[in-house]
Structure 1
Amino acid sequence: MNDLPPDLPRLRTVEMYLELQLQRVRKAIADQERHTQAKPAAPETWVLQHIPSTKDRPINWLHRASCHLAKGARLDRKEALLALAEPGVQACDACHADQELKSSASA
């Protein structure tokens, strides 16, 4: 089954229509790419979660804010680095909050 018209004038019309549609799509793609590139990256934040422990010391977990386990006070980069240096604070095993902090601190 052929959905295209059989004569040349109508085929040219379809061709022109498709070219115009393609131009619109390409312009929309370019606009979206410019919009995406123009947005500054959101600053990374971390979360310090306090968990009462049955041992002598409480446990505090440092999470990335995007971690699904994160519950607690939000920290910026400097606060997160200070917290991670404290005894009793551990990086989350799920989101590995310490990896980005350590790599950016050594840079």
Structure 2
Amino acid sequence: MLASPAYAQAAGGAAANPIMQFLPLILIFVIMYFLLIRPQQKKVKEHQAMINAVRRGDEVVTAGGIIGKVDKVREDGILEVTIADGVKVRVQKGTLSNVLSKTEPAKAS
């Protein structure tokens, strides 16, 4: 025989620490949180604040790319937007993608 038989050796070390086994997964989650989840939450909050601050006279862009001027803000989340002379459309506040120009608030009389 050219090769000698191989025998299994007994386990020499102690079992690995369970925390050390999950450390790579924990690190991946932390990195994903700071690179993906947290910036997205911040962006959503900014968009929500922008939508809540829309008032009459603001020039807005809808998600469909329509640019118009807000004529009326209703309590149920619907805006009436003028997109051309005599052409008004109703859009939901959530479909706004940007506010191009803000108007000054009306002065109390």
Is TM-score (shorter-chain normalized) higher than 0.5? Answer: no
TM-score category of the 2 structures, normalised to the smaller one? 0.3 to 0.5
- TM-score of the aligned structures, taking structure 2 as reference length: 0.33
Q: Considering only CA atoms, is the larger Rg found in Structure 1 or Structure 2?
A: 2
In proportion to residue count, which structure has more strand?
2
Q: Which structure features the higher share of helix residues?
A: 1
